[in-house]
């Protein structure tokens, strides 16, 4: 998520992350990808390689969880 998003409040995402960390939501390994330079729905354009890597990591992790 980005702090420059004009349509979404990054502080709300920060609060959600803090809440999940505090309550160990489903014992999740919470990874945060926070940017300060992208507008709404622009991370894939402004940071294409990082974005693809993050998506691939999430898909790989979901597949691994599905095998358990």
- From first to last of its 68 residues, what are the pLDDT tens digits of the chain? 999 999 989 999 999 999 888 887 666 778 899 999 999 999 999 999 999 999 999 999 999 989 98
Q: Say what the pLDDT of residue 29 is.
A: 79
Cα(30)–Cα(40) distance, rounded to whole angstroms? 22
Confidence (pLDDT) at 53: 97
The count of C-alpha atoms lying within 13 angstroms of the C-alpha of 68, restricted to the half-sphere facing its C-beta, is 5
Q: DSSP letters of 1-33?
A: -BTT-SSS-HHHHHHHHHHHHHHTGGG------
């Amino acid at each position: 998520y980005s702090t420059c998003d004009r349509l979404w409040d990054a502080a709300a995402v920060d609060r959600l992350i803090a809440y999940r960390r505090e309550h160990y939501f489903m014992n999740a390994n919470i990874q945060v990808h926070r940017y300060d330079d992208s507008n709404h729905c622009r991370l894939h354009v402004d940071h294409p390689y990082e974005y693809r890597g993050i998506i691939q990591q999430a898909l790989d992790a979901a597949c691994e969880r599905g095998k358990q």
